[in-house]
Chain A
Amino acid sequence: MTADQTTAVTSLTADAIESALTEFLAEKIKAPVETGQDLFASGLVSSMFAMQLVVHLESTYDIAIIGPELKLDNFRTVAAMTGLVLRLRDAGDADDPGDDATA
């Protein structure tokens, strides 16, 4: 895979995650949400729902949000959540020995 292809795949994935998250949030909080909108500052999301977002991302994208990544700033915007998912999925891929043909 070339660098361009990698970027394209990542970009597509980010778009897909953002789109799915925006749809999920709009359905749950009954209001349209912008990608960069601070969900907590705007009062759209409560501290109780923040935890539901954690569980939703973990189950939807097969990631574990633990340690220093489990902080509110990672859930403040759709963009931040998308970044978190991509980061953890990349880390998961790197840890997967199946990806390393020389192992």
Chain B
Amino acid sequence: MEADLSPHRLAIIGGGVMGTNIAALALGHGVPVVLVDVSDAALASARTTIREKLRHAQLMGSLPTGRRPGELVTSLSLGDAKDATTVVEAVTELPETKAKVLAEVSAAVRPGTTLISNTSCIPIDEMATSVARPDELVGVHFMNPAYLITMVEVIRGPRTSDATMESVTGLLAALGRQSLVVRDSPGFVINRLLHPLINVAATVVDEGVCSAEVVDGLLEGCLGHATGPLRTADLIGLDNLVDSLNVLYERTGDASCLPCAGLLDKVRAGHLGRKTGQGFYDYRKVAS
């Protein structure tokens, strides 16, 4: 029997869009994963999603060949993260939720366990106040889909230690990711730029200047974006986008981060993007 060659054991807290993305990335690279969420239904759904994402990764040729996939264990208890070498927090983008989960996780794991937050916008040092050992917390902003996009944004908080940076670099190398490191600030670099762009793109559509297809067509055709801002918004999830915009607005005061009416309307209507089949586009009818 082939031995488990990976020195990494990942625990992922939260089986939503990003939790399942990161799980598929890790499993496909031979890293075992314990996935924790709050209900059996959420875990069952996450298992199905991870299976689909692993197939998508294989289809796109984005997994290393000849590596045995890691084992997936699902759990309702944060305590089952205790043997992980790294824990990835990927829960809802609400500061109080993240603070609570990170506090519980850091109490459950051994000192020396790297804690990653996959937050979209919340400053790492803000969350570091909730954990037992702030030097072990680092931000890693995986893209969506995490198994297809090789670049990640790494956020070093003011209290993140050299040892934690070394550990996260080793993990990302094992996952075949490249990274660029930035200092801590609301939204870091990517979402500080991307989220207001999406919000303004949605405003332009609200105002009747043009359709979502035209906004995306222009940014794709003229500026070389791989997917336009509104297709990207649908991929992120519009509920997460609104939460992130609120986090950004509260911390920067930048009015372009106040979620526009059209975006809020879609969230109220339950049209959250690709994950619900409808957002700026209707995925039941078109390929986007």
A-side interface residues toward B, CB under 8 Å?
28-30, 45-52, 54, 70-72, 75
Contact = CB atoms under 8 A, between A and B. Distances in A.
Contacts of B145: 47-48
A70 B287 contact: no
B227 A50 contact: no
Contact of B61 (A29, A46, A52, A72): A72
B79 to A, nearest CB: 35
Contacts of B287: 28-29, 45-46, 49, 52
Interface stretch (B52-60, B115-123, B186-194): B52-60
Interface of B: 52, 55-56, 58-61, 145, 148, 227, 235, 274, 285-288
A51 B61 contact: no
A71 B61 contact: yes
Contact of A47 (B58, B148, B286): B148
A11 B247 CA distance: 59
B59 A72 contact: yes
Nearest to B52: A51
B286 A29 contact: yes
21 contacts: A28-B287, A29-B287, A45-B287, A46-B287, A46-B288, A47-B60, A48-B274, A49-B287, A49-B288, A50-B59, A51-B55, A51-B56, A51-B59, A52-B287, A70-B55, A70-B58, A70-B59, A71-B59, A72-B60, A72-B61, A75-B59
Contacts, number: 40
Contacts of B274: 48
Contacts of B285: 28
A50 B61 CA distance: 12
A50 B285 CA distance: 15
Nearest to B227: A46
Most buried by A among B58, B235, B274, B285: B58
B100 to A, nearest CB: 33
A58 B143 CA distance: 28
A30 B55 CA distance: 26
Contacts of A47: 56, 60, 145, 148
A54 B56 CA distance: 9
Most buried by B among A47, A50, A54, A72: A47
B99 to A, nearest CB: 33
A48 B59 CA distance: 11
A50 B287 CA distance: 9
Contacts of A48: 145, 235, 274, 288
